[in-house]
Amino acid sequence: MCLVPLALSLLMVPGELSAQELEECMLKKIRLAGDSTTIGTLRLECEEEIHAGTFVQDSDQKSKTPLVTERIEEDKEHVLQPFTLMAHKPNYILFGVYNGNGYNPEHFQNQFDDTSISMDDVEAQFQLSIKFPLLVDILDTFDIYAAYTNRSFWQVYNDKESSPFRETNHEPEAWVQFHPQWKLFGFTNAWNSFGIVHQSNGRGGELSRSWNRIYGWFTVERDNLAMGIKPWIRITEDDEDDDNPDITDYLGHGEFYASYKWRQNVFSLMSRNNLESGFSKGAVELSWSFPLPKWPYLKGYVHYFNGYGESLIDYNQHVNSIGIGLSLTDWL
């Protein structure tokens, strides 16, 4: 069998067929061929299949797997490997984010009793989001996971204030997930989960923000399109402990997600609290991750946000921002 690659290379005619397709097809047929089958016969069969468009490469077959299901299968491959952390939400860094409405310094001025504090309209932002299993294959039906997401807003270009982190939002959570594969109107319900999440900025006084929620997350897919809805109920707090009693007026009671993958590009949409607030206090987030030539480990990333709740510190301030940077992992 060590002569097979040499034989294949001698048989290939440059410019007529894809060498990669022909080699993959012939190697597949060699594994199944009888002792009397010749290389020439296998080549002829492969040429006919490739010209007719009936040969399916392994990579093409994988791409036909709906993308949420593909992500689930990849998670299953890594879930029991020690020292492995898996991506949860998108992981990215935006080197420059411009907010056309400007960032509000009033909270910081009040906290530190200094009216000279100012915020730049341009900053850097990044998100790190990881998950790990707690229990898997319970009754061969569901898994229990935990995750941590950190989203930071860094005034790195603000030399006047010594380049501080304007805000960091911490979001630990835990959930139960299962994959029913129910089908409806051509879509497959590939992922459902129910969990609890805490989100806060770890600060005190004027700058303190936090809330807790119970949520469900339901995701359907069809080929390269995935859509999800994530409703939640806020866990109420005592009035004296509540730093942001009106937060649901701006962040509502759920989010809608949609992601579409075209070639190596991923286009994503998030809509929150638009219908519920009558389009007065909602938010829309758009993102695009795209391949970079000769750089397979990272993607370019463009991120746009318009509305309320970009960060906890400014949950009740309208933000209109756009940024560009790099993506490590995306939704799909």
Catalytic residues: 198, 200
Beta-carbon contacts of 210 under 8 Å, excluding residues fewer than 6 positions away, are 198, 199, 200, 201, 243, 244, 312
Virtual torsion, Cα 108, 112, 114, 120, nearest 10 deg: -30
Output the CA torsion sign for 284, 149, 223, 143. negative
Residue environment code for 31-59, b if the CB has 16+ CB neighbours within 10 A, otherwise e: eeeeeeeebeebbebbbebbeeeebeeee
Output the CA torsion sign for 72, 332, 94, 171. negative
